[in-house]
Chains A and B, each alone.
Chain A
Amino acid sequence: MLRYILKRVLWVIPVMLGVVIIVFTITYLTPGDPVMTILGSGYTPERYAAKAAELGLDKGYFGQLVAYIWNIITRLDFGKSYNSNIPIVQEFAARYPISVSIGLLSCMLIAIIGLPLGILSAVKQYSVLDYSLTTLALIFAAIPSFVLSILGLVIFGVKLGWLPVSGLDSFKSWILPVLANTLPGVAGIMRMTRTTMLEVIRQDYIRTARSKGLKESVILRKHALKNCLIPLVTIFGGMIAHTTAGSIIVENIFNIRGMGTYLYSAILARDYPVINGCVLLIAFVVCVMNLLVDITYAFIDPRIRSQYEKKRVTRKKITTTKAEVA
């Protein structure tokens, strides 16, 4: 098992390297001159050269790429923002915890609300409850989060005045952004849970459990739920990665100083070091989440776990046979 985890961890390295090279190359090839952007129009050739040297842009492609990767690995230095001259890692430190908090809170709510509702909907298939929940899920899945955000702001922030319009200064101010992030996710997870659960509860082993006279709640909890978790964990892993990386739309609408707003303003200002840094961070989070998902598979599904244990046993057997032959 440890070997499996180690193998998966090592896979992150080439993936990240690939992402760095792709992102860097795209930026390198993108038209536009960052030195000109910084200096404006009133620069002399000497100032241009000095600034280019300061930013390391006087080197060739490989020189810049190697320096970029080296700085990230050795000093966790993603460079400075062209726009603000503030080290990118400093902004990450200030903004990432905010995005992670919103993202994790949303994911928690998605799990708490979406899973039980999905199970309930599957168990009570074709009932009024099932139809109501499915319809609601469809509505929330169809409404984009920016529409939900604006509706929430207009109704609860401006018209009713119950909740703050922007920022994250108080407990109340967390409600709208978290809900705007949560509701479409709840709908997705609920529908997915329902479908998977329906598939699982029609399996022979569930029928066998019923025929053995087990309680429905025990069947659901001990036999059905575990088996429907695998596809859900896959989806949930991706969801956590994306929500914690910062929701650009929700953060912008609620004026939250997180990763989403940082990336958005960097894109608008063509602040390439920031864009690169954000993309790398998002890629890293996605890799880590995929890794965690894979590890979780092994824990929740004995079949996957046994595959690795079998391999180990087989290898041991082969080694033993060879030794015996010798």
Chain B
Amino acid sequence: MKKFNKVLCILLALVTIISLTACSTKTTNPGTTNVPAPNTGTSSGDTPSGVADPDRGKVIRIGVTDLGRFLAGIAPSENQSACDIVFDTSFKVNPTTKEIESDYFKEWYWEDDNHFVCKMYDNIYFSNGDHATAEDALFSYYSHIERGSNYLNETFIDWDKTEIRDDYTLVFYCEKKNRAISRMPIYLLDKKWAESLADGWADQAWYYPVGSGPYECVEYVYDDHMVLKLRDSYWKRDISEYHVQEYQIKAYSDMSTMYMELESGNIDLCEVSSADYSRFLKNGSEGKPFNVILRSTGVVYYINFAWLDNPIWKNEDLRMALAYGIDFESLGILMKGDTYMPANSIIPSDSPFYVDVGKREYNPELAREYLAKAGYGPGQLTLKATLMDTPIYKSFGQGIAYYFEEMGINLDIQYADVSAAIANWVVPGNNDFGMMYSISGSDTMSVLDSIQQAAQQGGVSWTYVDDDHFQELYGVLKYQWEDDEAVKKASTEIQQYTFDHAIILPICASTTMIGYNTNVLTEEQVRGFLYNPTIYKLSHASITAEAWN
């Protein structure tokens, strides 16, 4: 018995030592291969064997944190990744050419100063066999508004009436020509099917919708996974052009678990959290076939002044004080850590429309001088703001509190959860400033998309810029139709004007980290997949068949 006890003790001690050693052992070998350079996302094995596997990428397994639902509106969130391939879309931006293209409109043009004509293809069929006409297109536009989907896009809706001219022609009557109308992504819905659902809309449309796109949802388990299969036929293209036969989208409640699944080769594509990205930067892929790329989402975080609610912001010296009194690089790093990407202009530096507007060096002395010039001594100015209690807003609040104290500005910050914060923001007078990002400014990374909140009243009260020249330039971007040169000029000028006069203060670009299995996908494909934060535009990738061979 005594001997047995001794053996047991030794065994227990060994187990303890082994467990503790296993937990503390550095299993990485820094400095070896596959350590990626920050921000470049150099692939560690895009062409692993040199010989293309014909089955590579036939099934793509994607990890997401929210499976979302189809056609559910913005709240609850709409699953845009799956919608993108289940439905045909009115207008979308080609990520390569940055040009607007349409799935179901054959052509679109301004007939005169008021009539925007959209002509549909006449051979569109839904997955249930129904034939699509202009009635369906019109229904799609109105049901899009009705269900509150992408409510921000409603700022693009400025037609007065619509008309169905013939079976395949839809006409929008607008007060004047504008570019925004051809930027609204509207999924083509089957009116007959949608109306037949009546009260069962949420049960059917959220999970098994009828679309005219190349894929259909064949399996949906709420909060778990969905399977999208290539249809037997697609009205627009020969189905053999499509390489990907099946998308399996799996929901993970924890992003780190999702990353570990990528590391283990169990998923092929997923968003990566900043903590895991930092781990990736430190350790690399450790010889495993995956890679993580960092890219801007096209969205810029910036400080907005509540021009309408507080007239003090008309004073340029005050705005300048803040422009010099905040170290935007440090603030951006505080907010984004390893994923920081600078932004001096209102659009990110990797946008094709970006203009080098210059850069202000952090200068607290000069800031205090500007503040005095604006008429405020130390402690004489108090500003209030309500921020969301999310990590990025909290970091922003922490940073801004420091710089305001340095400048001698009193700050009153309240934190609230997302819905309470938004409810606070829409009430005029509640905030003197705020941090916002160009929510819908990601598709083209263009100036028009990026600043629409600064140019439209309604919604969040403190984002509107009450500056005549700024609004004039925005008007050119939105309404100038014929003269492309004038639009380009306005795009450049508005960026420079915004910087020179501290109209809006950009902090940093919003970034997203995408991990992918290098045995299945190439970096080029992954970059082609997306041009929206966390939304994979799958349709584009699956038909670029040459990239798979």
Give residues in A with beta carbon < 8 Å to B.
31-32, 37-43, 82-86, 91, 124, 127-129, 132-133, 135-136, 139, 150-151, 153-155, 157-159, 161, 164-166, 251-255, 257, 261-262, 264-265, 269-270
Contact = CB atoms under 8 A, between A and B. Distances in A.
Given A91-B222, A127-B5, A257-B224, A252 B253 contact: yes
B151 A155 contact: no
Interface string B20-52: 001100010000000000000000000000000
Interface string B213-234: 0000000011110000000000
A42 B154 contact: yes
A276 to B, nearest CB: 18
A166 B146 contact: no
B16 interface: yes
A299 to B, nearest CB: 33
B252 to A, nearest CB: 5
Interface in B202-256: 202-203, 206, 221-224, 251-254, 256
Contact of B148 (A42, A82, A124): A42
Interface of B: 5-6, 8-9, 12-13, 16, 22-23, 27, 69, 73-76, 145-149, 151, 154, 202-203, 206, 221-224, 251-254, 256-258, 260-261, 263-264, 266, 419-420
B254 A253 contact: yes
Given A84-B222, A257-B223, A165 B27 contact: no
Contacts of B145: 42
A150 B254 CA distance: 11
A152 to B, nearest CB: 10
A19 B69 CA distance: 33
B23 A151 contact: yes
7 contacts: A32-B419, A39-B75, A40-B147, A42-B148, A85-B206, A139-B16, A261-B223
B140 to A, nearest CB: 15
A75 B23 CA distance: 51
Nearest to B6: A128
Contacts of B13: 132
Contacts of A157: 260, 264
Most buried by B among A41, A91, A128, A129: A41
Counting from the closest, the 9 A-B pairs by CB-CB distance are A40-B148, A42-B148, A85-B202, A40-B75, A252-B253, A41-B151, A165-B260, A132-B12, A128-B9
B73 to A, nearest CB: 5
A247 B222 CA distance: 19
Contacts of A31: 420
A264 B254 CA distance: 11
A252 B23 contact: no
B257 A129 contact: no
Nearest to A131: B9
Nearest to B74: A40
Given A128-B9, A165-B261, A39 B148 contact: yes
A85 B74 CA distance: 15
B148 A133 contact: no
A84 B69 contact: yes
B414 to A, nearest CB: 14
A153 B224 CA distance: 20
B264 A84 contact: no
Contacts of B260: 153-154, 157-158, 165-166
A151 B27 CA distance: 13
Contact of A255 (B69, B254, B420): B254
A283 to B, nearest CB: 23
Contacts of A127: 5
A128 B145 CA distance: 73
B148 A265 contact: no
Given A166-B266, A261-B223, 13 more contacts: A32-B419, A37-B75, A39-B75, A39-B148, A40-B151, A41-B74, A85-B203, A132-B9, A155-B23, A158-B260, A257-B221, A265-B223, A265-B253
A249 to B, nearest CB: 9
Contacts of A164: 264, 266
A129 B224 CA distance: 45
A51 B149 CA distance: 17
Most buried by A among B76, B148, B203, B258: B76
Given A41-B148, A255-B252, A262 B223 contact: yes
B5 A153 contact: no
A269 B146 CA distance: 22
A150 B16 contact: no
A37 B257 contact: no
Nearest to A261: B253
B15 to A, nearest CB: 8
Nearest to B67: A84
Contacts of B23: 151, 155
Nearest to B27: A159
B423 to A, nearest CB: 9
A275 to B, nearest CB: 15
A270 B27 contact: no
A136 B202 contact: no
Contacts of A85: 202-203, 206
A128 B10 CA distance: 10
Nearest to A270: B419
A128 B263 CA distance: 41
A249 B221 CA distance: 21
A91 B224 CA distance: 12
Nearest to A156: B22
A191 to B, nearest CB: 16
A253 B224 CA distance: 14
A83 B76 CA distance: 6
A165 B146 CA distance: 42
Nearest to A150: B256
A85 B5 CA distance: 59
A113 B8 CA distance: 15
A40 B257 contact: no
A323 B474 CA distance: 101
A31 to B, nearest CB: 7
